[in-house]
């Protein structure tokens, strides 16, 4: 029982829509769907601490923070001392009352270097005293309603805290919170974006799509080289990627022919898929969206690695990375798939989360949902233990940080 806990994550963004941290969502196995949060916390403390301490600095590279929910029992425990204070923000949940003991404990944790966040904050005599020690205050905009958010936000200006809008679900809500002056944002709008109207695929996309199709059809190497030469931005990005630390090649690559020879068609295909996603950042896609897509690609691939290998692993990566293309290109997935020659199994997964690869994508998406409702069921279906899921999660995030996407 001790080891069965699933860890999910949801990005937290700054006003520029860059990821500053992840809230680590946490739940026990499917046998404990209890709403009793304190028992959840106690049983989960070991797992949470183990996972976090095993993540080490290699996971939360740079300035990324892990936001972790803590209830009274966790606050009082000495487990917290095992965590890396500079990397962790403790989210004091709204059920915690500001007793003198807990206020002293919050002060002490803050002195150790932990960040302190107040979750689902509302102004009450029980919660207000914690403001003295908080760095972040999280406002659930669905629960509060936008008018109250505005009032409360103004009230909170007296304190040196960063205000985080939680449960931001639409573009309008994001814009409202931005205008009111909130500092950070979290919610489905960033992790599960919606498809809006269609947008024309610009030339760079068309070139990448053309190349992907050439590779699928085993075109001559000279044709591929010429296609790369035609798009300066594309070729520059490709070479920069190949020479990046994340790729681990021992020699510098100077020509496209050299690049294609060294990489082989499979790997080149994979890098072009990555490029297709990252190219959209030039078209004004929020960096967080791009990062979510690349992380998803790696996660979907790792989740399937115990069952599939070879081409299937490459296809898993493509399924994950392309799963947000409809949002990035602002056009329906069916339309995008018409321009890509993808195997049916990949298209099935992207369109309706079915077929051989569909459940892996479904699981990666389920990990971005704060309730993580479907995670236990999907893990069981895919023969994944909580340890395997958490390990895949951690290494996917580490890989994306290393790539510097």
Cα 221 to Cα 71, 218, 234, 253, 339, distances in angstroms? 59, 9, 17, 16, 22
pLDDT computed for residue 207 by the predictor: 78
Judge whether residue 55 has pLDDT over 70: no
**Using 50, 70 and 90 to split pLDDT, how confident is the model at 71?**
confident
Return the minimum-mean-pLDDT range out of 95-99, 110-114, 297-301, 401-405.
Answer: 401-405
Write out pLDDT tens, residues 86-119: 888 999 988 888 999 999 999 999 999 999 999 9
- The more confident residue out of 296 and 402 is 296
Residue 122: predicted pLDDT: 92
Residues constituting the chain: 405
Q: Which of 281, 269, 277 is nearest to 297 (CA)?
A: 277
Checking 164-172 for CB contacts under 8 A at 24+ apart, the result is 164/12, 164/117, 164/136, 164/137, 164/138, 164/139, 165/139, 165/141, 166/120, 166/138, 166/139, 166/140, 166/141, 167/140, 167/141, 167/142, 167/143, 168/141, 169/142, 170/194
Task: Return the pLDDT at 374.
Answer: 92
- What is the average per-residue pLDDT within 294-305? 91
Please give the pLDDT value at position 383: 93
- Are the beta carbons of 366 and 374 closer than 8 angstroms? yes
Q: In terms of Cα–Cα distance, which of 179, 194, 97, 186 is closest to 141? A: 186
312/336 Cα distance (integer angstroms): 21
Name the more confident of 158 and 40.
158
Q: Is the model's pTM score more than 0.85?
A: no
- Closest by CA to 11, choosing from 274, 324, 386, 317, is 324
Reply yes or no on whether the pLDDT at 46 is more than 70.
no
Q: What is the pLDDT of residue 162?
A: 96
Q: Write the pLDDT tens digit of every residue in 160-176.
A: 999 999 999 888 999 99
**Structure confidence at residue 130 (pLDDT):** 94
Q: What is the pLDDT of residue 251?
A: 62
How confident is the model over 316-334, as a mean pLDDT? 84
Do 3 and 47 touch, CB atoms closer than 8 A?
yes
77-81, 320-324, 363-367: which has the minimum mean pLDDT?
Answer: 77-81
Beta carbons of 112 and 82 less than 8 angstroms apart: no
Domains of the chain: 5-191 (3.20.20.450), 203-403 (1.10.3210.10)
The answer on pLDDT for 151 being more than 90 is yes
Task: Write down the pLDDT at residue 243.
Answer: 63
Q: At which residue do the structure tokens 């505005």 appear?
A: 150
**Which residue did the predictor score with more confidence, 271 or 222?**
222
pLDDT over 60 (residue 280) = no
Nearest to 272 by CA among 221, 219, 210: 210
Sign of the four-CA dihedral 294, 365, 140, 113: negative
pLDDT of residue 2: 39
């Amino acid at each position: 029982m001790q080891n069965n806990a699933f860890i999910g994550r949801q990005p937290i963004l700054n006003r520029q829509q860059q990821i500053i941290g992840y809230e680590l969502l946490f739940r026990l196995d499917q046998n404990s769907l209890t709403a009793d949060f304190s028992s959840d916390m106690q049983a989960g403390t070991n797992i949470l601490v183990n996972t976090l301490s095993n993540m080490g600095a290699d996971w939360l590279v740079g300035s990324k923070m892990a936001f972790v929910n803590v209830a009274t029992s966790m606050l009082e425990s000495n487990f917290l001392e095992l965590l890396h204070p500079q990397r962790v923000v403790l989210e004091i949940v709204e059920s915690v009352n500001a007793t003198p003991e807990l206020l002293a404990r919050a002060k002490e944790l803050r002195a150790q270097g932990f960040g302190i966040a107040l979750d689902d904050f509302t102004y009450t005599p029980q919660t207000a005293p914690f403001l003295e020690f908080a760095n972040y205050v999280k406002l659930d905009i669905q629960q509060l309603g936008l008018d109250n958010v505005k009032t409360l936000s103004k009230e909170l200006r007296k304190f040196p805290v960063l205000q985080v809008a939680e449960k931001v679900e639409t573009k309008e809500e994001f814009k409202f919170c931005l205008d009111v002056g909130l500092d950070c944002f979290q919610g489905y709008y960033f992790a599960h974006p919606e498809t809006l109207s269609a947008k024309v695929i610009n030339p760079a996309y068309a070139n990448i799509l053309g190349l992907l199709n050439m590779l699928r059809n085993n075109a001559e190497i000279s044709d591929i080289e010429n296609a790369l030469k035609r798009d300066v931005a594309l070729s520059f990005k490709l070479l920069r990627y190949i020479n990046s630390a994340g790729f681990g090649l021992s020699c510098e690559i100077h020509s496209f022919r050299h690049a294609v020879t060294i990489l082989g068609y499979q790997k080149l295909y994979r890098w072009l898929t990555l490029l297709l996603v990252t190219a959209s950042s030039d078209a004004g896609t929020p960096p967080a969206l791009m990062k979510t897509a690349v992380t998803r690609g790696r996660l979907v691939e790792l989740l399937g690695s115990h069952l599939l290998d070879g081409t299937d692993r490459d296809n898993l990566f493509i399924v994950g990375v392309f799963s947000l293309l409809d949002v990035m290109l602002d056009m329906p997935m069916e339309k995008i798939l018409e321009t890509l020659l993808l195997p049916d199994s990949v298209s099935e997964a992207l369109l309706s989360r079915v077929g051989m690869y569909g459940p892996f994508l479904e699981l990666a998406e389920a990990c971005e949902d704060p309730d993580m409702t479907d995670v236990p069921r999907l893990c069981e279906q895919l023969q994944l233990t909580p340890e395997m899921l958490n390990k895949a999660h951690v290494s996917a995030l580490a890989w994306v940080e290393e790539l510097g996407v």
